[in-house]
Amino acid sequence: MITLRQLRYLSALAKYGHFGRAAEACAVTQPALSMQIRDLERTLGVAVVERRPGDVMLTDVGREIARRGEDVLTASRDLVDFARHRSGLLTGRLTLGVIPSLAPYLLPRILPLLQTRFPELRLELRETQTRQLVEQIKSGALDTAMLALPVGEPDIETIELFKDLFLLAVPSGDPRAETKRVAAGDIDQTRLILLEEGHCLRDQALAFCATAARSGAGGTAFGASSLTTVMQMVAGGYGVTLLPQIAADVERRDGRVKFLRLEDPQPGRSIGLVFRRTSPRKADFAALGEMVKQSLDTPAVNTANEKRADGYGRQPNKKGG
């Protein structure tokens, strides 16, 4: 009979393509991992790996077994979650992924509330790009993630949390008045500073600007891994960028930058929670989603948003976003 341990070791081999690195990731010795793989091959009566000097390659059969094994491992994690979290909402360990253009602006709002209201929750965070978060949700490495919707994966469910409009961040010396709405065609794309390839915010910004693309407007060659770096470039007068409204309260502290609103229909993104359709913790995810909405509706946030003269606060909607 094959074991979950053998499937985990095979999954690690599929990921790292190397016995040593796979063993390190599984916190076992290389001989122990190799022995379990050989036991798996004997049980199944097929070769799952092709051993070569310095590395390892899965056979065609091995790749299919590893793929099916991932489904078994995910189901086993869901079974454990089902048993462990029946006592109450948001207790025990929960792994949460967040995209980089959201984490530094939203987490400081929600973490204090979670600590106060759900003291038995042990939250583990992972900040990375959307593609990696979705893969980790599907594999069971993450329980849930906050990112921009839609995801477009049939095995993943979503809860929409709020709408996050885009603002045009420009150097403070820009002659345009802050009360003036900016059209897509008014953005000089040769000065547009974006996040590096792989960030969904980059794709969303390019999609908006493409509605009024100018001939020969290729955009700046600079690409950053964080919005903070992008905003420093804008503050230094090197260009402009589209900034999510959720980030405006933090980034506006730099007096060298100002924000302009965009013409209707204002571009933006929909932020939501994503999780496996088969997960037994949907009640936890719903509760977490409500906490996110409440964190955006606290009096301090509303006062700053609703009374601000420039009107760049978060736009409330019927869904609490």
> pLDDT class for 217, splitting at 50, 70, 90?
very low
Cα–Cα distances (Å) from 210 to 84, 134, 200, in that order, read 48, 26, 15
Give CA torsion, residues 230, 234, 235, 236, to 10 deg.
100
Q: What is d(CA 210, CA 193) in angstroms, rounded to the nearest whole number?
A: 15
Neighbours of 212 (CB within 10 A): 13
On the 0-12 / 13-18 / 19+ scale of CB atoms within 10 A, 179 is exposed
86 has pLDDT over 50: yes
pLDDT, tens only, 97-126: 999 999 999 999 999 999 999 998 999 999
320 has pLDDT over 60: no
Point out the least confidently predicted range of 134-138, 151-155, 250-254: 250-254
pLDDT, tens only, 173-197: 999 888 889 988 888 888 888 887 7
Domains and CATH numbers, the chain: 4-84 (1.10.10.10), 91-321 (3.40.190.290)
pLDDT, tens only, 276-302: 998 989 999 999 999 999 999 754 333
Query: Looking at the whole model, is its pTM more than 0.85?
Result: no
